[in-house]
Amino acid sequence: MKYLCLIYSNEELMHSHPDSPQDPECLAYAQSIQASGRMLAAEPLESVSTATTVRMRSGKLSIVDGPFAETKEQLAGFYLVEARDLNEALQIAGHIPAARVGSVEVRPVRALNLGLPD
Domain architecture of the chain: domains with CATH? 2-108 (3.30.70.1060)
Print burial letters for 86-116: b (CB count within 10 Å at least 16), e (below 16): eeebeebbeebbbbebbebebeeeeeeeeee
Sign of CA dihedral 8, 43, 95, 24: negative
Contacts of 72 (CB under 8 A, 6+ apart): 10
3 close to 106: Cβ distance less than 8 angstroms: yes
pLDDT digits (tens, 9 = 90+) for 28-47: 999 999 999 999 999 988 88
For residues 97-108, give the mean pLDDT. Answer: 91
pLDDT-derived band at 23 (thresholds 50, 70, 90) equals confident
pLDDT digits (tens, 9 = 90+) for 55-92: 899 999 999 887 666 667 888 899 999 999 999 999 99
Please tell me the distance from the alpha carbon of residue 103 to that of residue 98, in angstroms, as a whole number.
7
